[in-house]
């Protein structure tokens, strides 16, 4: 019944849903249909002498009325179904008391950024998280967070960076805002329309949710389990086109009762040389250095070409060396993290692995920042109006001044 299918589509159903529902309604009406021979009708009518010939409703009018009833029911039905998909997608994770164990693979199109895998344990009600990040099967970082404590082991430098909270670190605890956490937050906050589709040969729902600024997230939710299978982070380009920056494949999402969590899961890494980091505090002043004066401090730089200034900034708890190339800046600091690099909101950061080392990317006004922390000789690249590809390229080519 093409008319019914068209009306269902206009009521808000996808083309596939409209076709399926139309066929279902036709099958449901089939038992009520019956055929009466024409001569039998004429015979009965010949013996009946009605006072007034009843007015016969056109078949088209009957069909239209029935169709109107169906469409009205579906107009009321479809929004509740959409809401049901969103509610069931949120309920699939359990309550905040449920511990989640997530295994995910992260891909990105930014040159120089590695594909990485993460094994994540989340305990939302107690504010605890433990995640292990690997590249090519090798661990690059092991991180633990709980209220009042942050511990991160960095494999490349062999250091265990320790702080009292995420506020002790540049950009905060970027990885603490796991893709699952962001997805759940938007499911609670935003009203989402679910569109039935297929992904990798399986029936799914496609949801589009906001993420931050010009970035949104497209989530493909399994139609059976209502758990996410793939999350895409897309950025709106000046041309108006959406560009997929990162793809997160959720290989496994398990709900676990707290009593069943393996012993030692939520415990801090205990290997590596301990480096305690703190916010640098109030700025006390600054001075300009020559290259020779800066050399013993080994700040990161690109070389002498294009160099415009070397500045030492002094804070209450430490110093930072800023090497400038026009509007581009390389910040080198130790255990005291300068306040300019402390992100105000965790939702505005992006965790990456560049050159085999974990790094964090975020925005400060019109400037794009990427930070690679080591606890003793950390680097931040700060560039106005830079692309992600360009700033990662600069991060990888920076080297210490010797």
Residue 266 belongs to some domain of the structure: no
Instruction: Give the pLDDT score at 45.
Output: 44
Beta pairing, strands 273-276 & 159-163: parallel
pLDDT at res. 265 = 93
Residue 270 lies in a domain: no
Q: Give CA–CA dist 322/193, Å, rounded.
A: 47
Note whether residue 8 is domain-resident: yes
Within this chain, do residues 79 and 157 fall inside the same structural domain, yes or no?
Answer: no
Place of tokens 């989640």: 100
Tokens of 384: 């106005």
Domain boundary among 47, 70, 91: 91
* Tens-level pLDDT at each residue, the chain (402 residues): 555 455 444 444 555 555 654 554 454 445 444 444 545 545 544 554 444 444 554 554 444 445 545 544 444 444 455 558 999 999 999 887 899 999 999 888 777 788 889 999 999 888 888 989 898 888 888 988 888 888 888 887 788 888 876 666 655 554 455 788 888 888 988 888 899 999 888 899 999 998 877 788 999 999 999 999 999 988 888 788 888 888 999 999 999 998 899 999 999 998 888 878 788 888 999 999 999 999 999 999 999 999 999 999 999 989 999 999 999 999 999 888 888 776 544 344 677 788 778 887 877 777 888 888 777 888 999 999 778 889 999 999 999 999
Is 344 within a domain?
A: yes
* Chain centroid offset of residue 58 CA: 56
Task: Provide the domain count of the chain.
Answer: 3
Same domain (yes/no): 326, 353: yes
Please indicate, yes or no, whether residues 158 and 306 belong to a single structural domain of this protein. Answer: no
In-domain check, residue 331: yes
Distance between CA atoms of residues 216 and 214, nearest Å: 7
Whether residue 136 is found in the same domain as residue 219: yes
Same domain membership, residue 396 and residue 299: yes
Which DSSP string corresponds to 95-122? Answer: -TTSEEEEEEEEEE-STTBPPEEEEEEE
Q: Please indicate, yes or no, whether residues 199 and 108 belong to a single structural domain of this protein.
A: yes
Helices (H), 278-399: 291-294, 388-397
Residues 67 and 146 in one domain: no
Reduce the DSSP state of residue 65 to 3 states and report it. Answer: helix
Residue 308 lies in a domain: yes
- Per-residue pLDDT at 391: 92
Q: What is the pLDDT of residue 57?
A: 46
Contact assessment for residue 196 and residue 180, using Cβ atoms and an 8 Å cutoff: no
Q: Retrieve residue 402's tokens.
A: 């010797």
Look at residues 91, 108, 140 and tell me which one is the last residue of a structural domain.
91
Together in a domain, 235 and 286: no
> Integer distance in angstroms from the first to the last C-alpha of the chain?
79
Quick one: how far is CA 154 from the chain centroid?
Answer: 24
* 247 and 108 within one domain: yes
Q: How many other C-beta atoms are found inside a 10 Å radius of the C-beta of residue 35?
A: 4
Is residue 57, in this structure, part of any structural domain at all?
Answer: yes
Q: What is the predicted pLDDT for the residue at 399?
A: 95
Examine residue 268 and state whether it is found in any structural domain, yes or no. Answer: no
- Is 124 in contact with 101 (CB distance < 8 Å)? no
- 219 and 123, same structural domain? yes
Q: Quick one: 6 and 55 in the same domain?
A: yes
Beta strands in 214-338 (DSSP E): 215-222, 228-236, 242-256, 273-276, 278-279, 283-288, 300-301, 309-315, 318-325, 328-333, 336-337
Question: At what angle are helices 179-189 and 59-91 packed, to 10 degrees?
Answer: 130
The sign of the dihedral angle between the CA atoms of 27, 32, 37, 41 is negative
Domain range enclosing 72: 2-91
CATH number, domain of 152, equals 2.50.20.10
Same domain, 237 and 292: no
Among 67, 91, 115, residue at a domain's last position: 91
């Amino acid at each position: 019944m093409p008319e019914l299918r068209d009306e269902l589509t206009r009521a808000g159903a996808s083309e596939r849903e409209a076709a399926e529902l139309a066929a279902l309604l036709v099958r449901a009406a089939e038992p009520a249909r019956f055929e009466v021979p024409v001569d039998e009708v004429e015979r009965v009518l010949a013996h009946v002498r009605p006072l007034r010939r009843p007015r016969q409703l056109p078949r088209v009018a009957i069909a239209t009325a029935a169709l109107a009833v169906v469409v009205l029911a579906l107009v009321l039905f479809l929004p509740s179904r959409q809401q049901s998909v969103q509610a069931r997608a949120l309920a699939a994770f359990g309550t905040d008391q449920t511990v989640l164990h997530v295994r995910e693979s992260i891909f990105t199109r930014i040159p120089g950024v590695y594909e990485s895998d993460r094994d994540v344990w989340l305990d939302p009600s107690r504010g605890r998280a433990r995640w292990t990040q690997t590249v090519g099967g090798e661990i690059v970082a092991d991180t633990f967070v709980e209220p009042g404590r942050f511990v991160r082991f960095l494999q490349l430098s062999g250091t265990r960076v320790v702080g009292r909270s995420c506020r002790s670190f540049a950009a905060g605890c970027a990885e603490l805002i796991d893709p699952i956490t962001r997805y759940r937050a938007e499911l609670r906050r935003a009203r989402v329309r679910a569109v039935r589709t297929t992904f990798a040969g399986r029936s799914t729902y496609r949801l589009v949710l906001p993420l931050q600024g010009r970035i949104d997230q497209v989530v493909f939710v399994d139609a059976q389990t209502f758990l996410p299978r793939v999350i895409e982070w897309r950025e709106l380009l000046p041309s108006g086109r959406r560009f997929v920056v990162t793809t997160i494949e959720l290989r496994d999402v398990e709900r676990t009762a707290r009593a069943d969590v393996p012993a030692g899961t939520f415990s801090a890494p205990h290997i590596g040389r301990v480096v305690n980091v703190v916010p640098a505090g109030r700025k006390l002043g600054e001075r300009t250095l020559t290259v020779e004066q800066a050399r013993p401090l080994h700040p990161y730089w690109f070389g002498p070409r294009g160099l415009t200034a070397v500045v030492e900034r002094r804070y209450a708890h430490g110093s930072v060396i800023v090497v400038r190339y026009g509007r581009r800046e390389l910040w080198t600091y130790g255990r005291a993290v300068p306040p300019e690099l402390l992100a105000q909101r965790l939702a505005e950061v992006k965790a990456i692995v560049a050159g085999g080392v974990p790094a964090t990317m975020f925005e400060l006004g019109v400037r794009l920042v990427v930070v690679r922390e080591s606890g003793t000789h950390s680097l931040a690249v700060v560039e106005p109006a830079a692309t992600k590809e360009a700033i990662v390229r600069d991060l990888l080519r920076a080297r210490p001044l010797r």
